[in-house]
A and B are shown apart, each in its own frame.
Chain A
């Protein structure tokens, strides 16, 4: 993903916050999909988890640390 402008400090902190929340939401979706009793709900939750994963990846890209395993650890 091409980006020519580096994030400002403020943007950086929003990106980090957002990434944290997306990861939390992703974790919740997976746990709930595991525990829920309704099959329709289960597939809905998987669907949501998938979009959350996309979001997290996109935010990670903007933070400029994709494929940098050890640096991305701190946001999990």
Chain B
């Protein structure tokens, strides 16, 4: 944003999507959880150790909250629905969240459950109408389908 010398505009395409924000918070939470784990192991005990343990516990709960929110939106695919995920990729559909689905020719079958690999493709293909509205996320909390709203936003 700033490097282009333009004013902040919430509709710009290069701001973080809701999904990216959650991904970032999850990553930060992971880092902090590791930090607390080490802190507990290195503490002499007493009050400080107890506090670190409490904060660690709280960190786990926060991560769980963020994760389940993402899963509700269909932004975090786990192995449980991998088959479905793969089939959708072959039909050329997009996952919700405004990101393109990963390539079916990923170099590894592992560690590709989330995030986008074909960022360049995404950039060049922006503006194209996806063939079909992604129905992956199903209904959002408010009862409206999230996928449609996301799509409008990202075109």
Contact = CB atoms under 8 A, between A and B. Distances in A.
Interface residues of A, number: 34
Nearest to B149: A37
Nearest to B15: A35
Contact of A21 (B15, B22, B35): B35
Interface string A37-54: 111110011011001000
Interface of B: 10, 15-16, 18, 21-22, 24-25, 28-29, 31-32, 35-36, 38-39, 42-44, 46-48, 51-52, 55, 58, 62, 65-66, 69, 140-142, 146, 149, 153
A32 B16 contact: yes
Contact of A62 (B22, B29, B51): B51
B144 to A, nearest CB: 11
B96 to A, nearest CB: 12
B36 A7 contact: no
Interface of A: 3-5, 7-8, 10-11, 14-15, 17-18, 21-22, 24-25, 28-29, 32, 35-41, 44-45, 47-48, 51, 55, 58-59, 62
B42 A14 contact: yes
A6 B62 CA distance: 29
Given A18-B55, A51-B58, A3 B21 contact: no
